[in-house]
Amino acid sequence: MTISSTTAAAVTVVGGGFTGLAAAYELAKRGVKVAVIESETEVGGLAAAFDVSGEKLDRFYHHWFTNDLEVMNLIEELELTERVEINPTNTGIYFAGNFFKLSTPWDLLNFKPLGFADRIRLGLLALRARQVRDWQALEEMTAKQWLKDLGGENVYRVVWEPLLKGKFGTYADDISAVWFWNKLKLRGGSRGKGGEERLAYFRGGFAALAEALSEKVRALGGQISVSTRVREIRKHNQRWHVETNRGTYLSDHVIATPALPLIADMIESWAPADYLASLRRIRYLANVCLVLELRHSLSDTYWLNVNDPTFPYVGIIEHTNFQGPQNYGGRHIVYLSKYLPHTHQLYSMSADELLDFSLPFLKTMFPAFQRDWIEAHHLWRARWSQPVVERNYSRLIPSAAAPLEGLHICSMAQIYPEDRGTNYAIREGRRVGAELASQIVKPRNARESEDGDVPPTAHLNLSDLAAV
């Protein structure tokens, strides 16, 4: 889409991921003129997709838990509930050269790497974690301390330490107990009557939901522009100017949703040094995700945690053990995921280089695997993939309100005590959109009641106003 050199809206939303789209949806449905700008060629952010045998597949593996109510409510509003599939899945652990299932209470009781007493401790740990109500009491503790206190040294060494180090590397000992508590609480609340984990997926991939949401925003009068990269956000003559490679966006308010250091770069010309420092204080990990299209399945496990420090990937996710291979031309889809600093050598490898690097590890883990099983492979990178959630993280999160009125910050790093994810991105986007709409619409309605002049964009349903 080609835009003019200047585009005007009441609100400019920077970022077309789920946070930005959800905010735009709340604004547009209340009659607020909104423009969304996205630097990539399509909306969705980390939920972008690519084509496999005519079907869209997520670049990075995705699923929802059954207790992810924010996304489920949005899907219901968009009348797309029939596209949600909820299936039981299985989880496993690769430890000391062996595979172990760990999806049900029975699997736990048969987890041989731990003695019987430690198996009981592991099961009780999950139950005790779900009973925590005051997460703030955990803020001073690291995940390492907390997990050792709950389950003991052996349980930590076998189960939790490899996962923490596999995901966070050198930051592992800094990770907050709050972050881990929320992971245990979330997964524990997404189980069926038999204790099996149940997960949800959107047919067509998460990108299909992002596209449906963007279409709704457009239908409500919002504007969405892709391939539009922000160079600067500044305020001039009481209006916000968002300078991009495709022109200037003028608005009364800006909602910025990218990673905090990127926002700092956008406002560096005028923002106070201490505020810029707060945006850059939170550390982020990058992610590389090697996606394989295979002729044969590697295993019957959907989510395999790799508790082996010599293996480069923390997880092997065989997507087609969740959504069948018939959806992808009969091919079996495997994600190999690694979180790492963006300076790590693996982050700069090409797809072919990373595949060559990975093959010996796959062969060790799955002896039957052959290179000629691979029909295609793809590499995706995300520079700002995972905020490092340290102890006392709540003290690090910058305010949603920027130093100048009218600039609102809403990014994945501000989601707390929960961790980043589609469900919470939608929740926070809708929250900031609804709050901002209430600021814009109510004063405008008050002015209109005085002069009797109602512009076309101000026609609102009473039900919309009641929902603000």
Alpha carbon 390 to its chain centroid, in Å, reads 18
Tell me the average pLDDT across 175-187: 87
CB 160 within 8 A of CB 102: no
CB atoms within 10 A of CB 48: 22
Phi, psi of 261 (to 5 degrees): -60, -30
- Please give the domain boundaries of the chain with CATH numbers for all domains: 6-47+206-282+394-467 (3.50.50.60), 91-198 (1.10.405)
Contact (CB, 8 A) for 75 and 119: no
CB 224 within 8 A of CB 214: yes
Among 330, 339, 298, which residue's Cα sits nearest to residue 317? 298
Q: How confident is the model at residue 17 (pLDDT cuts 50, 70, 90)?
A: very high
Amino acid sitting at position 61: Y
For residue 312, count CB atoms less than 10 angstroms from its CB and return exposed for 0-12, middle for 13-18, buried for 19 or more.
middle
pLDDT band at 187 (very low <50, low <70, confident <90, very high): low
Nearest 10 degrees: CA dihedral of 228, 234, 240, 245?
A: -20
- Output phi, psi for 258, to 5 deg: -70, 180
Q: How far apart are CA 337 and CA 381, in angstroms?
A: 10
Residue-wise DSSP of 31-52? T--EEEE-SSSSS-GGG-EEEE
For 55, the token pair is: 């079907």
- Provide the 8-state DSSP code for 401: B
Reference 299, options 331, 337, 336, 332; nearest CA is 332
> Which pLDDT score is estimated for 467?
28
Please, are residues 65 and 183 in contact by the beta-carbon 8 Å criterion? no
Instruction: Tell me the pLDDT band of 19, cut-offs 50, 70 and 90.
Output: very high
How far is residue 330's CA from residue 440's CA, in Å, rounded to a whole number?
51
Whether 461 shows a pLDDT value over 90: the answer reads no
46-55, 77-86, 254-263, 423-432: lowest mean pLDDT where?
46-55
Cβ-contact 295, 332 below 8 angstroms: yes
The whole-chain average pLDDT of the chain stands at: 89
> pLDDT value at position 196?
62
What is the arithmetic mean of pLDDT over 426-452? 78
In this prediction, residue 190 carries a pLDDT of 53
Query: Given a cut of 50, is residue 56 above it in pLDDT?
Result: yes
